[in-house]
């Protein structure tokens, strides 16, 4: 069987399984298994598959037909122009989270700064910040050891020496005023949200998605605990659900933050809120 013959069959099967990107999925899988770029796959469609390649492709195709995300099948996802390794233990980085990265970069000058990323997962946010700001010292904190290991591997692969990842639950390892900026994309989905049963989200770790108190539990915990870990004038930057902007602004205000602002994502939905910490001595 040639590359083109396999693509034709895979496209038809994925389209029948209601994949929203059947043609692209088939090309990515073939590229992954053969080691050829997608451009080469399309240009040299007459190339024959080996028996082993056909076996591996069939297994991957069956998993994709069941809805398993392409990112988990290939083990990677592009984020902020970085090739990030992912696993079923971590969320799949999404384009809207790049909005958080951009606003974080806009908050501080490119000179030295200490930055903390809470709930790093694969490390996507911390790695993006570290890649753009070599003078920043970026720390990632993640509760799941397997994700910490993955994030460290990503940093090594990307040759980023100004970012370190540690195991911990939110602020537990860090209780002193030290950071210029804290960023987080915490769990913020309600437990009964119907989207949890749709698309890629079905396969992603619930612990990284769902939070109590109508999705606000972790956002509230971070807002309340961030102040003592920030230098005077430091910033807290949070990603949240499209309908949670008002609630998060309220949480930030109650926690003592000022200069509170919310920004929209690429779909023009409220997605990222920030506040500035002004420490006042008693």
Count the domains in the chain.
2
What pLDDT is stored for residue 172 in this prediction? 65
User: What integer pLDDT is reported at residue 175 of this predicted model?
Assistant: 58
Cβ atoms of residues 117 and 129 within 8 Å: yes
By the 10 Å C-beta count (0-12 exposed, 13-18 middle, 19+ buried), 182 is classed as: buried
What the block records as the tokens of 125 is: 């946010």
Crossing angle between the packed helical segments 3-16 and 51-65, to the nearest 10 degrees:
20
Residue 167 exposed, middle or buried by CB count within 10 Å (0-12, 13-18, 19+): middle
pTM of whole model > 0.75? yes
Q: Which CATH number does the domain housing residue 110 bear?
A: 3.40.50.150
- Look at residue 213 in the predicted model and tell me its pLDDT: 87
Q: In terms of residue numbers, what domain contains 56?
A: 3-67
pLDDT of 201: 84
In terms of domains, do 95 and 205 share one? yes
Spatial separation of the C-alpha atoms in residues 196 and 187, rounded to whole Å: 12
Burial 67-101 (b: 16+ CB within 10 A, else e): ebbbbbbbebbebbebebbbbebbbbbbebbbbbb
- Helix, strand, coil proportions of the chain in percent (round to 5)? 45, 20, 35
The predicted structure's pLDDT at residue 177 = 61
Q: Hey, what are 71's tokens?
A: 């990112």
**CA distance from start to end of the chain:** 75
128 shares a domain with 227: yes
62 and 20 in a single domain? The answer is yes
Instruction: Specify if 273 maps to a domain.
Output: yes
- Shared domain for 43 and 120, answered yes or no, is no
Give residue 281's pLDDT.
47
219 with 104, same domain?
yes
Identify the sign of the CA torsion 133, 138, 144, 150: positive
Single out the residue in 67, 99, 118 at which a domain terminates: 67
Same domain, 148 and 63: no
Q: Please give the Cα distance from 179 to 167 (Å, whole number).
A: 18
In a domain, 78, yes or no: no
Residues 36, 144 within the same domain: no
Give, for all 282 residues of the chain, the pLDDT tens digit. 999 999 999 999 999 988 888 999 999 999 999 999 888 988 998 999 999 999 999 999 999 999 899 999 999 999 999 999 999 999 999 989 999 999 999 999 888 999 999 999 999 999 999 999 999 999 999 999 999 999 999 999 999 999 999 998 876 666 566 899 999 999 999 888 888 888 778 888 888 899 888 889 999 999 998 988 899 899 999 999 999 999 999 999 999 999 999 999 888 999 999 999 986 543
Residue 94, domain member (yes or no) = yes
For residues 24 and 141, membership in a common domain is answered with no
- Cβ neighbourhood burial of 175 (10 Å; 0-12, 13-18, 19+): exposed
Q: State whether 10 and 112 are in the same domain.
A: no
């Amino acid at each position: 069987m040639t590359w083109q013959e396999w693509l034709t069959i895979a496209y038809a099967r994925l389209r029948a399984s209601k994949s929203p990107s059947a043609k692209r999925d088939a090309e990515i899988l073939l590229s992954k298994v053969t080691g050829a770029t997608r451009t080469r796959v399309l240009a040299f469609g007459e190339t024959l598959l080996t028996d082993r390649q056909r076996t591996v492709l069939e297994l991957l195709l069956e998993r994709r037909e069941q809805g398993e995300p392409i990112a988990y099948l290939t083990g990677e996802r592009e984020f902020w122009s970085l090739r990030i390794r992912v696993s079923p233990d971590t969320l799949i980085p999404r384009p809207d989270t790049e909005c958080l990265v951009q606003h974080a970069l806009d908050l501080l000058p490119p000179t030295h700064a200490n930055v903390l990323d809470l709930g790093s997962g694969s490390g996507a946010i911390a790695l993006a910040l570290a890649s753009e700001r070599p003078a920043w010292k970026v720390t990632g904190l993640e509760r799941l050891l397997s994700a910490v290991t993955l994030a460290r591997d990503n940093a090594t692969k990307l040759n980023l020496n100004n970012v370190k990842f540690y195991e911990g639950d939110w602020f537990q390892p860090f209780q002193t005023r030290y950071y210029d900026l804290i960023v987080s994309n915490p769990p913020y989905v309600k437990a009964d949200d119907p989207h949890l049963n749709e698309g890629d989200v079905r396969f992603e770790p619930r612990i990284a998605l769902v939070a109590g108190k109508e999705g606000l539990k972790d956002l509230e915990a971070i807002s309340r605990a961030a102040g003592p870990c920030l230098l005077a004038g430091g910033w807290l930057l949070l990603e949240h659900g499209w309908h949670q902007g008002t609630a998060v602004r309220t949480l930030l205000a109650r926690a003592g933050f000022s200069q509170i602002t919310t920004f929209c994502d690429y779909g023009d939905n409220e997605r990222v809120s920030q506040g500035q910490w002004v420490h006042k001595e008693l």
